[in-house]
Structure 1
Amino acid sequence: MRGRVRVVALVVLVVVLAVVAAVVDVPTVEQLRAHVRAAGGLAPLVFVAGSALGTAVFFPKPVLAAAAGLLFGLVQGVLLAVVGFTAGALLSFGVARALGRSAVEARLGSGRLRLVDSVFASNGFAATLVLRLLPVVPFTVSNFAAGVTSVRARSFALGTAVGLVPSTLIAVVLGDALREPGSPRSFLALGAWLALSAVALVWGRRLLARASNA
């Protein structure tokens, strides 16, 4: 009974956060720049903290990544965004692990969900990395979902940090390219995004096939 209550609480929390994120207005670029200027020397720390909290509550990660490129440039923007996003992912992961893992584990059965859980158990780093390379999977949703799997927190954190580098780099390049409308970098970034998605799909299928044949 207690397990069901925790799962219900987790679902309600995710839904509430998603609704709040949907109704709250996204800051404009000028507003973000104003906040950065107001923070002065603490701007990088403020951005990391804001990114961590933002991604934990369904704030659009691509918007934050693009903002990092606009506000801090390519190299520093990628670094700050990856640190903030990883921290936010671990926050969501920890909440889901505490509330839902035990109840979900007892109800996995022997079907597709059990197979996916076994992949995260035996190949946690690779499974998390695939998850990060799929831009179609909502970032915050995947963090909560990973929390109820058997993936180790260390594997999740490492896979998240490594997997965020290419996807964040692409988004930051897009944000940085907005300074120069029509820049070919934007087209290159979109092409790279599609390539990453294809790689992740193939890799993910292989992980599932290997687990099902084990």
Structure 2
Amino acid sequence: MRTGRVARIAVVVVWVVALVAAWRYGPDADAVRAWVGAAGAAGAVVYLGAYVVAVFALVPRPLLNAAGGLLFGLLPGLLLALAGGLAAALVQFMVARYVAGEAIARRLPPGVLAWLEGLTGRRALMAVVQLRLLPVVPYQAVNYGFGLTRAGALPFALGTLLGGIPATAALVLVGSGGTDVGLPVAVGGTVAAVGIAALWWLRSRRAARERRADT
């Protein structure tokens, strides 16, 4: 097993253990929400900044999204989690494009950059939506990888936002404690969105094979 993969697994394990410890020994949800509510807008700003830093530190985004629901409730938590994910994605996109492109290109898995470039050549917005709904490539790798392609920042941002809604909503809902009725709806919506993305991906592959056969 490669060192990078071991490191990613270790990071996930550490953060899951930390989450369980915080849940077991930390303050209850009502106390945390009261503290965040008293902080006002500063609490939201701190959460957004922490979200971006945490993505760079390879903290699993499901934990960050669920934390948004825990801290702010369903709707505010959803908006803030989406904003945090978008901000983190754009920062990494810009770092790859303008700051450390060569170093990042060397660290991407073999073939990922060429594959992303091929997707971008067809339709960047839908390619990003597809990869957010079907995370076959790690979140950070998509951010950095698209920063190295010719994709525009606006299609990348819109695709990240639209493709991230279903899974983010489900996790924020869990974090907010709304698991009685809302969770099945959120999970169903996520499954439906993933199904649509899978169909679109299969159709794209078939169209690509047909184009190659015609040449």
Label 1:87 to 1:115 Cα distance change in 2 as closer, same or farther (>3 A): closer
Tell me: CA distance 1:191–1:23, structure 2 relative to 1, closer, same or farther (3 Å).
same
Q: TM-score, normalised by structure 1?
A: 0.72
Pairing partner for 1:203 from 178, 196, 200:
200
Q: 1:132 to 1:124 in 2, by over 3 A?
A: same
Q: State the match for 2:108 in structure 1.
A: none
Deviation at 1:85, TM superposition (A): 0.6
In structure 2, the CA distance between the partners of 1:103 and 1:138, relative to structure 1 (3 Å rule), is closer
CA-CA distance at 1:162 after TM superposition: 2.1
How many Å apart are 1:57 and its aligned residue?
Answer: 2.5
Query: Does structure 1 residue 122 correspond to structure 2 residue 127?
Result: no
Tell me whether 204-213 or 148-157 shows the greater mean CA deviation: 204-213
Aligned length: 195
Give unmatched runs, 5+ long, in structure 2: 106-110
- 1:26 aligned residue (8, 14, 18): 18
| Residue type at the aligned position of 1:48 | L
1:189 aligned residue (186, 190, 209): 186
Q: Which amino acid aligns with 2:162?
A: V
Structure 1 residues 136 and 26, CA gap change in structure 2 (3 angstroms): farther
Shift of 1:13: 9.6
Shift of 1:189: 2.4
What secondary structure is seen at the aligned counterpart in 2 of 1:50? helix
* Structure 1 CA distance for aligned equivalents of residues 96 and 28 of structure 2: 30
Identity of aligned residues (%): 32
Q: Return 5+ residue gaps in structure 1 as ranges.
A: 1-11, 105-110
Q: Is the 8 A contact 1:70 1:175 kept in 2?
A: yes
Q: Distance in 2 between matches of 1:61 and 1:137?
A: 14
2:113/2:148 contact within 8 Å kept: no
Structure 1 174/118 Cα, relative in aligned 2: closer, same or farther at 3 Å?
same
| Farther-moved stretch of structure 1 (71-80 vs 197-206) | 197-206
Q: Which residue of 1 aligns with 2:63?
A: 63
